[in-house]
Amino acid sequence: MNNDKFALPFYWNDYEDIAMSLYEKFGDDFTEAKIYRVRFTELLEWVLSLPNFKGTREESNEGHLEQIQSAWVYEWRDNQ
């Protein structure tokens, strides 16, 4: 994971950055099918705990979480 203190922060609309961070965190522990079965409540907590993520719980919505989930699947596919 990028723990660089100079790394730019990212927010809810930075789907690809979030997806890359989730892939770095979980690697191949989550397949495409498992990613699509992650509950949004869990995904929300995981995103909020990512280093350099500066969004808030109140700014999140289902659309953001769906986009993050899809981007995470594409990131997983790119690494297979």
pLDDT tens digits, one per residue of 39-50: 999 999 999 999
User: Closest Cα to residue 56, out of 11, 2, 1?
Assistant: 11
The reply to whether 6 falls in a domain is no
Within-domain flag for 2: no
Roughly how many angstroms between the first and final C-alpha of the chain, as a whole number? Answer: 18
Report the DSSP beta bridge partners of residue 53. 10
Residue 31 lies in a domain: yes
Return the SS3 of 74: helix
Rounded mean pLDDT of 8-36?
95
**Other beta carbons within 10 Å of 65:** 20
The total number of structural domains in the chain stands at 1
3-state secondary structure of 53: strand
**Locus of tokens 């397949």:** 31
Per-residue pLDDT, 1: 47
Specify the CATH number for the domain of residue 61: 1.10.10.600
Asked if residue 7 belongs to a domain, the reply is no
Domain that holds residue 47: 15-79
Q: What is the pTM assigned to this prediction?
A: 0.89
